[in-house]
Amino acid sequence: MSDARARLLRWEDVPRETLTPLLARRVITGERMMLAQLYLEEGAAVPKHSHENEQLTYVLEGRLRFWLGDDASEIVEVSAGEVLQIPSWVPHSVLALERTLDVDVFCPPRQDWLDGSDSYLREE
């Protein structure tokens, strides 16, 4: 049997980290997955990047435009109530078309988010 214990967490108790004036997040991480709330103001942009982590992006409010692939030729808009699944290592960038709240799930957890080496997110 495992010694691991369940934890009850409330988003309001999780510190909100401001990355830029247009982008903030809250992060909860377990041993093998990460859950994050992202707050994007209209016009917030995340530059092209890729990572080993499989990603699910669930838009709760607002609308995001994703450019996917090496040449960014696949464009997908994700609106409230929709989920985009991004496989490991697929290059992608994002633009908030309106004020957006989304929940991202990553497996495994994003080490760059945990150790602060995610400087590409902090550029305006």
For residue 82, the enclosing domain spans: 18-117
Amino acid at 121: L
Which pLDDT band, with edges at 50, 70 and 90, does 3 fall under?
confident
Strand partners, 85: 56
What is the residue-averaged pLDDT of the chain?
Answer: 96
- The reported pTM is 0.93
Q: Does residue 52 lie in a domain region?
A: yes
Q: Indicate if the pLDDT at residue 124 is higher than 90.
A: no
Q: 34-63 burial by CB neighbour count: b if 16+ within 10 A, else e?
A: bbbbbbbeeebebeeeebebbbebbbeebb
Which pLDDT band, with edges at 50, 70 and 90, does 122 fall under?
confident
For 102-124, what is the mean pLDDT? 93
Angle at 75 between CA 16 and CA 18, to 5 degrees: 10
Which pLDDT band, with edges at 50, 70 and 90, does 59 fall under?
very high
Which residues are CB-contacts of 13 (< 8 A; sequence separation ≥ 6)? none
Alpha carbon distance 87, 55 (integer Å): 6
| Order of all β-strands in the sheet with 63-68 | 45-49, 92-96, 63-68, 74-79
Q: Does residue 91 lie in a domain region?
A: yes
Q: How far is CA 14 from CA 19, 26, 40, 44, in A?
A: 15, 6, 17, 22
Q: Does residue 67 lie in a domain region?
A: yes
Q: Indicate if the pLDDT at residue 1 is higher than 80.
A: no
Number of domains in the chain: 1
Q: Does residue 24 lie in a domain region?
A: yes
Task: Count the helices and strands in the chain (H runs, E runs).
Answer: 1, 10
Q: Does residue 7 lie in a domain region?
A: no
As a whole-number percent, the residues of the chain with pLDDT over 90 amount to 94
The CATH number of residue 32's host domain is 2.60.120.10
Q: Indicate if the pLDDT at residue 87 is higher than 70.
A: yes
Q: Does residue 69 lie in a domain region?
A: yes
